[in-house]
């Protein structure tokens, strides 16, 4: 990473720290964190990346980072930046390799007492029915013509082909579909990598988790969203698999050649970018939208197979089991949105990399069913720890382009985690806590061990106190499927 300078921090309040403009920074940087978290963040390379992002042409207001910030490719993970659509740039490093990686939360009518005695049977069924692991191949084999339809319509394709219900789409961000997808700009290599991976969980930090509601912070919203104490819920965390990875890789190769030719000066070549309205910029956006739609479809299919797994174990229909979708929310996406900048409503391209939307009540981009409550925001913990459901706020819209954190955020690299876990059975450690885990790889369990991540309570505590999203409920796991 080039262009490194000494990063200075100015404390704004208990939850925000500013990196003042210096050198070629066009805007200041702001990191959401408390004193405790800043002690670690200061030792990481990610604040330098926050400053580097502030050099992007067309960036407005701030280069932002959420409390789950850690070092990433170009942008920090947890980074948020908005650029003007007229004269600004799009940077694949501000979206990430796993395009539209995200989470969906499902409810049920089952209680903890009903499910805990059968958790091994249930997790084993999920492990059989939901392909997982590095390079895992799914049960769906689409002809190219059908694959193109899926890339153009997203989760709508899944529902139309029997994977779920129409009401699932209303509970999915943007209806499970991003417009502007262009299958013609996707490389043959991306098609090849993606053709067998639709309907797969993947590896790394992806998971399928059976948990229960163990705390409720907003009884009014919990009731409206169908949640109650000791209720069994399911979280699915996955993305666009090798298809999205290849699209990112292809685009970075093109943009790394292009941005220098255009005279764009950047402190780090990993921020390679193109003007949004250029041919290269439009091609990336068209390919990215394909990957966004692939990921929505992937999670929709995974949810259908999850429903079927519950049906097999409990001998009741998914409808009878109340297996409804609360919300599906992506966290590696760039979107065109309208935001207030210096008193003017401006169309911006909002990059959220390892950050999630948190829109408030009344926002016109929310599904009608959430228009009066604000948007559900699902924040998954790392394997074996709590997860949280939050709600979006007006303050987020004013301060962070309607954004909040997306998870716990790593404290250790995967290599460090493997070294720390040496000689231990992570599955046995989790079993001792009452959590049954099945994984395609023991190495993945070690890489994703809870100690490798920040405490989810600390991360969520910052965004809650800062007011950019507010706690609604907390979930505790009892069964996990890992890649």
- Give the residue numbers annotated as catalytic, written as ranges: 406
Q: What is the DSSP letter of 76?
A: P
The DSSP element (H or E) to which 469 belongs, if any, is strand 469-482
The token pair that represents 258 in the structure block: 């292009």
SS3 label, residue 17: strand
What CA–CA distance (Å, rounded) separates 455 from 276?
A: 37
Q: How many angstroms from the chain centroid is the CA of residue 153?
A: 20
Asked whether the beta carbons of 69 and 42 are under 8 A apart, the reply is no
DSSP string, 292-331: HHHHHHHHHHHHHHHHHHHHHHHSS-TTTTT--EEEEEES
The residue assigned the tokens 């709590």 is: 386
List C-alpha distances in Å: 451 to 91, 133, 254, 412: 32, 21, 38, 8
**H-assigned helices in 82-206:** 112-115, 119-129, 144-153, 155-160, 166-170, 188-194
Q: What is the dihedral of CA 56, 59, 61, 67, to 10 degrees?
A: -60
């Amino acid at each position: 990473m080039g262009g490194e300078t000494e990063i200075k921090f100015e404390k704004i309040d208990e939850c925000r720290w500013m990196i003042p403009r210096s050198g070629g920074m066009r805007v200041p940087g702001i990191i959401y964190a408390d004193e405790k978290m800043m002690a670690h963040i200061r030792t990481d390379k990610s604040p330098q990346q926050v400053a580097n992002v502030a050099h992007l042409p067309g960036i407005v207001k701030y280069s932002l980072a959420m409390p789950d910030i850690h070092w990433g490719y170009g942008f920090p993970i947890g980074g948020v930046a908005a650029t003007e659509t007229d004269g600004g740039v799009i940077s694949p490093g501000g979206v990430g390799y796993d395009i539209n990686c995200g989470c969906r939360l499902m409810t049920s009518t089952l209680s903890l007492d009903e499910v805990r005695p059968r958790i091994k049977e249930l997790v084993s069924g999920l492990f059989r029915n939901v392909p997982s692991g590095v390079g895992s191949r799914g049960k769906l084999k689409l002809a190219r013509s059908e694959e193109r339809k899926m890339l153009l319509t997203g989760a709508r394709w899944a529902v139309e082909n029997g994977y779920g219900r129409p009401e699932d789409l209303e509970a999915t961000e943007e209806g499970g579909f991003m417009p502007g997808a262009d299958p013609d700009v996707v490389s043959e290599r991306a098609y090849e990598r993606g053709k067998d991976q639709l309907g797969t969980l993947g590896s790394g930090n992806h998971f399928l988790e059976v948990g229960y509601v163990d705390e409720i912070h907003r009884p009014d919203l919990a009731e409206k969203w169908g949640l109650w104490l000791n209720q069994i819920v399911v979280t699915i965390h996955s993305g666009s698999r090798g298809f999205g990875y290849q699209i990112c890789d292809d685009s970075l190769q093109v943009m790394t050649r292009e941005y220098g030719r255009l005279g764009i000066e950047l402190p780090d070549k990993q921020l390679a970018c193109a003007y949004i309205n250029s041919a290269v910029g439009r091609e990336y956006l068209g390919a990215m939208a394909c990957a966004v739609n692939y990921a929505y479809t992937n999670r929709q299919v995974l949810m259908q197979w999850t429903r079927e797994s519950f049906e097999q174990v409990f001998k009741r229909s998914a409808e009878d089991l109340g297996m409804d979708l609360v919300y599906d929310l992506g966290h590696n996406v760039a979107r065109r949105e309208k935001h207030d900048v210096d008193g003017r409503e401006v169309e911006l391209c909002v990059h959220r990399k390892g950050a999630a939307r948190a829109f408030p009540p009344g926002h016109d981009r929310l599904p009608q069913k959430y228009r009066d409550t604000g948007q559900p925001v699902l924040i998954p913990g790392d394997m074996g720890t709590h997860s949280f459901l939050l709600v979006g706020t007006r303050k987020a819209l004013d301060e962070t382009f309607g954004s909040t954190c997306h998870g716990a955020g790593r404290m250790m690299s995967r290599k460090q985690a493997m070294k720390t876990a040496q000689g231990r059975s992570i599955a046995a450690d989790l079993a001792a806590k009452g959590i049954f885990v099945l994984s395609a790889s023991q190495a993945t369990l070690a890489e994703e061990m809870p100690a490798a991540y920040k405490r989810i309570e600390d991360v969520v505590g910052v965004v809650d106190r800062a007011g950019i999203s507010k706690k609604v409920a907390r979930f505790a796991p009892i069964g996990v499927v890992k890649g």
